[in-house]
Structure 1
Amino acid sequence: MLALVAALLTAAPPAQADVPAFELLPLVPAGAGHQQKLKSEVEYWTLAKMASTGLNNEQQDATPPPGGWDDLSRPWPREQGLISRTAGKFFIENKDVQTGAVSRTACSGNVVTSANQSVVVTAAHCLRVHTPVNVGFGNTMVTNMVFVPGFNGANLPRNTTSTDLPGKDIAPYGVWGVTREWITSTWSRSADWLLGHDMAAVLVANPGDPRPIGQVTGAQQIGFDQPRNQNTYVFGYPTINERNYYRPGKVRRELQRTFDGRSLMTARAITRSDPVYYSDVMPGALSPGTSGGPVLQNLDPATGAGVQTGVFSRYDDPGQIIGLLGWVEGPNLSSTHLGDEERAVHDAAQAESPAGG
């Protein structure tokens, strides 16, 4: 823990150099057996595994503040516009690089415009984490990852042991296997939030549908080096209340709320710029599970269309200069602003085939 604090104190501002993206090992390699491997990746995620990974641990669904949901967090209406189709939930299996221990987690992501119509943008830490001397979040990387655009967790039963696969009631646009993944050059060298650039782009494919995902869901426009300090929406699937700053007992009653991982939620506010980590910070009450969710400017609530200018990365507490709790709970949302490194990641992903050839 002391090593991480020391690293925070000495961290330099992120480089703005024109550097190439870094590709991780493919999850579904090209070549013989590609389609069968893709099918196996998708069919790994039974209802039981999705429920244990994607819902909270409290045996209780989300509870709004006493006065109702507000701009700090509110459910986005199902089937309202483009964002209800392009935003989705990742189900992820991780492996500890040193011990081999396997765990599962969930993140958020968004389908964006791309030449191959197959790119989903998320946070780099959803794919790879290596914190200093293995404190904090350890040394993990992804071994299996699927994306469910428009995920509807309202129909996912708790505590199920079912080995059935999700149907259209839970995955209205299908379950898409992640085949290839790119992260920023900075994150490949410092996968620990210390230098920022927490962004990734992945390619997805559906073993039961030959179309690219962009033809199925549509895609949000993506913008790089866009104006800062704007009216902004963050979208995602908040899940974990153990690290929910706004949970009961943590804040005054009128602000208390919990999340369940079932629903697409959004927070809305004016951002402020953090020049050290090249991030955008805003008030917001969205818990972990939101990681990788899109940050949109110029959003038209009626059409659900906007421009993705960032990716939710971590939390921020201005009252804790070197305190670590603010990095894992908030109360503010801190998002990676898409710049040159993030453009390189998107460009690398959109130039390739989900099948690798």
Structure 2
Amino acid sequence: MNRTARKLVTLASALALSLVAAPAAQSAPAAQSAPETYWTPDRMRSAVPLDAPTVSPWRVRATVPTGEPATVAPLAFPNGGSAWTGGGAVVTTAGRVFFTYQGRNASCSGNAVTSTNKSTVITAGHCVKLDGAYHTNVVFVPAYDNGNAPYGTWSARATKSTPQWEATEDINFDVGAIVVSQLNGQSLTDVVGAQGIAFNQPRADNMYAFGYPAASPYDGTKLIYCSGRTFNAFLSTGIGMTCNMTGGASGGPWFRAFSEATGTGTLTSVNSYKINLIPTWMFGPYFGADAQNLYNLAQAL
């Protein structure tokens, strides 16, 4: 990992930390109950959003992948961040991820995907591990509704990240996976459904991003979406989209070939980081071989 990449990761982690450790956060008790019972409605409502890491453009050298355009034509009807009212499968496959990070209760977003074990949720790497340690008390709450869990609170039995995120928290590989335990004798995707997932897809595409942003001006109570044409990121090897979502949206799914009628699509990235001077852009990691290996590892557990 080169010096500029290390600076990027260090700055991203530091800024994420400053937001997560806000005074309003509720501390986790020394002796914790099972995750599914620990996360009461009040604890979910008061969890501090783990912000998408924010980076300063002058601290890193631009890196644009070759063979793809740096900018592309926008989607005809782009959306920068509105409440999703369309219904469909995404309402139940998407949800909030809650966890304890450095003694604080925090939140991200995630999405259930098709998997062999019917129990795999894809999210961002920093939503399962940050600053050298994996989070504890991890749960997935599909279709989260202002403290309510209409489809249950699903406890993680395993959390994983890409080798690069595991080793150095490299923002280029900010992908995580959560494998949840059964609930009431049922597997997750048998209850809430699942979205498809794909790798090595075109970088420039019409895509939809979803999440539960909980930092102002959002409050974490609604599923928010963005839509538009993706473009190559210039501070990482990932992709970008015009999107106003804030902290708490990290780990939310990016779909290609998304149908507004059915709420289904193919997951090919997740909300990862933002640039502090351009808050209207969101960036996600490109899902290549390493993301695919992570998915295969998770679905086999």
Alignment TM-score, normalising by the size of structure 2 = 0.78
- Structure 2 gaps of 5+ residues are 11-31, 51-77
Contact 1:197–1:277 under 8 Å retained in 2: no
Whether 2:228 is the aligned partner of 1:223: answer no
Q: Number of aligned pairs?
A: 252
Q: Which has the larger radius of gyration?
A: 1
Superposed counterparts of 1:135-174, under 5 Å: 139-153=132-146, 156=147, 170-174=148-152
Misfit runs of 4+, over 2 Å = 4-11, 274-278
2:177 is aligned, of 191, 197, 201, to 201
Question: For the residues of structure 1 that align with 2:223 and 2:80, how far apart are their CA atoms?
Answer: 14
Aligned to 1:82: 89
- Cα 1:86–1:39 change in 2 (3 A) is farther
Contact 2:220 2:248 in 1 (8 A): yes
1-side partners of 2:155 and 2:126: how far apart?
Answer: 18
8 A contact 1:228–1:271 mirrored in 2: yes
Change (3 A) 1:55 1:186: closer
Deviations along 1:138-165, one digit per CA (max 9) or x if unpaired, are x553111111001112xx4xxxxxxxxx
The letter of the residue matching 2:292 is R
- What is the root-mean-square deviation in Å for CA atoms of aligned residues? 2.6
AA of the residue aligned to 1:143: T
CA distance in 2, matches of 1:39, 1:115: 29
Cα displacement (A) at 1:172: 1.4
Residue 210 to residue 282, structure 1, CA distance change in 2 (3 Å) = same
Matched, 1:122 2:98: no
**C-alpha distance in 2, partners of 1:45/1:9?**
33
Shift of 1:39: 7.7
Partner of 2:271: 312
Are the aligned partners of 2:49 and 2:108 in contact in 1 as well (CA < 8 Å)?
Answer: no
**Aligned to 1:240, what secondary structure does the other structure show?**
coil
Query: Structure 1 residues 10, 111: closer, same or farther in 2, change over 3 A?
Result: closer
Distance 1:127 1:340, change over 3 A: same
- Structure 2 counterparts to residues 273-312 of structure 1, below 5 A: 273-274=232-233, 277-312=236-271
The answer for the alignment partner of 1:112 in structure 2 is: 113
TM alignment of 1:3-152, pairs within 5 A: 7-8=6-7, 40-53=34-47, 71-77=79-85, 80-95=87-102, 102-130=103-131, 139-152=132-145
The Cα shift of 1:173 comes to 0.9
Decide which of 197, 202, 209 is 1:234's aligned counterpart.
209
- Per-residue CA deviation, residues 78-114 of structure 1 (Å, 9 max, x unaligned), is 7x1111110000111112xxxxxx1111100000011
Contact kept? 1:129, 1:192, Cα under 8 Å: no
Give the Cα–Cα distance (whole angstroms) in 1 for the partners of residues 297 and 5 of structure 2.
Answer: 34
- Note the residue ranges of structure 1 that are not aligned, 5 or more in a row: 12-37, 57-69, 96-101, 131-138, 157-169, 242-257, 317-324, 353-357
- 1:119-146 deviations in Å (ceiling 9; x for gaps): 000001011122xxxxxxxx55311111
Tell me, what secondary structure is at the counterpart of 1:342? helix
What is the match of residue 70 of structure 2?
none
CA distance in 2 between counterparts of 1:6 and 1:273 reads 17
